[in-house]
Structure 1
Amino acid sequence: MTRSLSLVPEDFEQELVLRWAAGQTATWPELVLLYHVPNGGKRGKREAEKLKRMGVKPGVPDLCLPVARGGFHGLYVEMKRADGGRVSSEQRAWLAALHAAGHCVAVCEGHEQAIAVLRDYLAADGCPEMEEAA
């Protein structure tokens, strides 16, 4: 039985992006700096309180590429499933603040869109418009 793309969860889409990035470091060595910000997920109350004290904040985008390109300080990507997903008010606020601070930001529906954004960003072809990303 094959899975419909619309049923692929966001975390698996993100795994596909990181697998692609790992295989592209000969072309773009900067991709070794791509990392996940582990803000999401279900946690017990004690662990959630501890992480909050350590600086975990709701809405921080899923992926960060701290590499300057095309006049931007870095790239932040909020991942969603290929068939879409809701961008929370906290996520919108983070994306807007990061964009205002000089970062490229994008909301990507699925791994293919995220890979395209990473390729375009690294090739300095530009950054998605904030209105589209948020």
Structure 2
Amino acid sequence: MRNFRLDDESGHQEALFSWAAYQLGRMPELEYLHHVPNGGKRDKATATALKRQGVKAGVPDVVLPAVRAGYHGLYIELKAGKNTTTDNQKRWLEYLRQQGYYTAVCYGWQLAAELIERYLLHPEELTQEQKTITMR
């Protein structure tokens, strides 16, 4: 894997997807792992156009549409450093959890990778808590 700037979330996103590419042989479902590019700095015109096209604030960053342990799929809000979840992100995660998805907030790509591996390869280890988990 190449070196990534890990001082912001975009570097952690790149590292996670690089890791996923290396793991396809073990976990072929990772072909469908994807990032929802709702965040980031944009000029006002672009932000307005994206909003008209359906971009919604708070949607989790990473999605894995693979059924495991009774869950419809996995949604991860990936954080870096001291960033915390916004109220919108918390609302989305709670809604998705109520709809039968496994939801998590992971601080750093390594914890997200560990969760994805556990979700795909060891679903019996998933917590059955009735809330979004946070991994620090």
- TM-score when normalising by structure 1: 0.89
CA shift at 1:128, angstroms? 7.2
3-state secondary structure, aligned to 2:63: strand
Q: Is the 8 A contact 2:75 2:104 kept in 1?
A: yes
Deviation per residue, 1:12-57 (Å, 9 max, x gap): 0111110000000100000000000000011111111111011100
Matched residues, number = 128
Question: Could you tell me which amino acid in structure 2 is paired with residue 48 of structure 1?
Answer: A
Q: Is the 8 A contact 1:34 1:63 kept in 2?
A: yes
Q: Is the 8 A contact 1:104 1:128 kept in 2?
A: no
- Equivalent position of 1:132 in the other structure: 133
- RMSD over equivalenced CA pairs, Å: 1.8
The answer to whether residue 96 in structure 2 is matched with residue 98 in structure 1 is: yes
3-state secondary structure, aligned to 1:77: strand
Q: Is the 8 A contact 1:66 1:73 kept in 2?
A: yes
Q: Distance in 1 between matches of 2:45 and 2:13?
A: 27
Q: Distance in 2 between matches of 1:119 and 1:107?
A: 15
- Equivalent position of 1:54 in the other structure: 53
Q: Distance in 1 between matches of 2:32 and 2:127?
A: 18
3-state secondary structure, aligned to 2:112: helix
3-state secondary structure, aligned to 2:50: helix
- Equivalent position of 1:66 in the other structure: 65
Q: Is the 8 A contact 2:103 2:133 kept in 1?
A: no
Deviation per residue, 1:42-87 (Å, 9 max, x gap): 1111111111011100000000001101100000000111x34211
- TM-score when normalising by structure 2: 0.87
Q: Distance in 2 between matches of 1:67 and 1:131?
A: 18
The answer to whether residue 126 in structure 2 is matched with residue 109 in structure 1 is: no
3-state secondary structure, aligned to 2:133: helix
Q: Distance in 2 between matches of 1:87 and 1:103?
A: 18
Q: Identify if the C-alpha distance between structure 1 residues 73 and 40 changes in structure 2 by more than 3 Å, giving closer, same or farther.
A: same
Runs of 4+ in 1 over 6 A off after TM superposition: none
Could you tell me which runs of 5 or more consecutive residues in structure 1 were left unpaired when the two chains were aligned.
none
Q: Is the 8 A contact 1:62 1:78 kept in 2?
A: yes
Q: Is the 8 A contact 1:77 1:114 kept in 2?
A: yes
Q: Identify if the C-alpha distance between structure 1 residues 113 and 66 changes in structure 2 by more than 3 Å, giving closer, same or farther.
A: same
